[in-house]
Amino acid sequence: QSAPTQPPSVSGTPGQTVSISCSGSNSDIGSNTVDWYQQLPGMAPRLLIYKNDQRPSGVPDRFSASKSGTSASLAVRGLQYEDEADYYCAAWDDSLPGRVVFGGGTRVTVL
Amino acid sequence: QAQLVESGGGVVQPGKSLRLSCAGSGFLFRSYGIHWVRQAPGKGLEWVAVISYDGTKEFYGDSVKGRFTVSRDNSNATAYLQMNSLRHDDTARYFCANSDTFWGWMESWGQGTLVTVS
């Protein structure tokens, strides 16, 4: 069960913009929409972005995402200390029926 | 406000069984699919299984296929994860999450329940 690839960590100072990449395959990201989840330290994950670029109500517009081909990316503009968390991309995988794959996760550190 | 509460975790010996529950409230439980996702200590998220809103479709991750079974009782707004033949590498916090479309995203998450196989 191969997983989309994310950088293990990214960092930035308050106010900066950081980006997280998510590289998949034709059967997952290439064939399905991408969702992003944020997991604050010690907390459960929460939905951050769905259907490639849609924000649920309550998610600040500092968070944006896009998808192209077999890759996706998440950008955090105006980085804040409260954004320090783990971020995961996810997509359904058509290689076997009915399977979801998560990326390995990216730790965002605010310096 | 949707709420999901997992229960049933604990310490269990290798080879034994455990059943987790996921109780939903604040949303129309019978209209939502339920996913199970786990997280081993210090590791990332791993998708485990999903069951459709009506229980007619269920799918599993490779690492649990043949050992774990999902089910649901819509009359009690509860989903279950039956875990058999538990192994050390099943040690993780197990989360449930709802999804209003079967092939869609995981909308709301519970806080998880910890399973330790030792």
Q: How far apart are CA A60 and CA A88, in angstroms?
A: 17
Tokens, residue A34: 């991408």
Tokens 């998510």 correspond to A22
Strands A99-102 vs A85-93: parallel, antiparallel or unpaired: antiparallel
- Which residues of chain B fall below pLDDT 50? none
pLDDT of the residue at A44 = 98
B58-60 and A18-23 as β-strands: parallel, antiparallel, unpaired?
unpaired
Mean pLDDT of all residues belonging to chain B: 97
Residue A95, pLDDT score: 84
When pLDDT is cut at 50, 70 and 90, the band that residue A96 belongs to is confident
The pLDDT, as a whole number, for residue A1 is: 52
The Cα–Cα gap between B62 and B112 comes to 21
Determine whether the interchain pair A102/B44 forms a contact, defined as Cβ–Cβ distance below 8 Å: yes
Q: Is B30 in a helix, a strand, or coil?
A: helix
Put simply, the answer to whether A45 touches B59 (Cβ < 8 Å) is no
Residues B111, A44: C-beta atoms closer than 8 Å: yes
The CB-side HSE value for B13 (13 A sphere, CA atoms) comes to 2
Indicate the residue of A46, A50, A104 with minimum beta-carbon distance to B109.
Answer: A46
Is the pLDDT confidence value at A33 over 70? yes
**Which candidate, B52, B47, B70, places its Cα nearest to that of A99?**
B47
Q: What is the mean pLDDT of residues A51-75?
A: 97
CB B81 within 8 A of CB B74: no
pLDDT over 70 percentage in chain A: 99
